[in-house]
Chain A
């Protein structure tokens, strides 16, 4: 799996958009970009994933650059409950074997009142 690089921490004002960057310059053609988050004392939560097109769901938007070497997770209106560690991972889709998740250090997003 390709390596990802994320800032260690970010702050965001409540109600503003939170833009979390991720670099994955060694991504290969069959690898997707996935985002998870982990709120303190809770299990990880799947947010969104994409291959090359921008994606949007009820939680967030994912913007992937044309060369696919970086992406940005956007929380359009951050709330205090969005304070969490956000993990960007790059994974291919295989069949027949365990695809256990491995998280890097992630970005600690703190939403400030």
Chain B
């Protein structure tokens, strides 16, 4: 079946410009995570959506970052006034978290290929 998709795969932008990154999760997955990963580094959690609950934004590094998830499916991560330190691979993951036969699956996260953001 279709996995998590992200677009664009690569984005080069100039410092100060806004960018939007898109994530299409696996159909039926109620949870959606955004992470970013700098070169050679681990995952940095950004934001978490679960169903209709208020998102957990505790990982967003500044108020220039925001995300929304429309209709419980597609999500968009927006970075305003991009800075060079925003350059990273932005990864989206979805998880069934209870949608898989009633057994909670909170830690089975399925990742997209990522968007490589380069801020010049």
Residues of A near any B CB (own CB < 8 A): 32, 34, 42-46, 49, 89, 91, 93-95, 97-104
Contacts and interface: CB of A to CB of B under 8 A. Distances in A.
Q: Range of interface residues on chain B? A: 20 to 34
Nearest to B56: A98
Given A98-B45, A100-B48, A102-B43, A93 B114 contact: no
Contact of A98 (B48, B110, B111): B48
Contacts of B108: 34, 46, 49
| A interface secondary structure, majority | loop
B62 interface: no
B43 A49 contact: no
Max count, chain B CB within 10 A of own CB: residue among A45, A95, A100, A102:
A100
A49 B108 CA distance: 8
B59 to A, nearest CB: 7
A95 B56 CA distance: 13
B106 A95 contact: yes
Top 10 closest pairs, chain A to chain B, by CB:
A43-B111, A100-B45, A98-B48, A98-B56, A99-B106, A91-B107, A43-B91, A43-B114, A44-B111, A93-B104
Nearest to A95: B104
Interface in B7-47: 33, 35, 42-43, 45
Interface string B69-106: 00000000000000000000101010100100000101
Contacts of A89: 107
B58 interface: yes
A45 B58 CA distance: 24
Given A98-B56, A100-B59, A103-B43, A93 B112 contact: no
Given A43-B91, A43-B114, A44-B43, A101 B106 contact: no
A49 B104 contact: no
Contact of A102 (B42, B89, B104): B42
A49 B33 CA distance: 19
Nearest to A94: B106
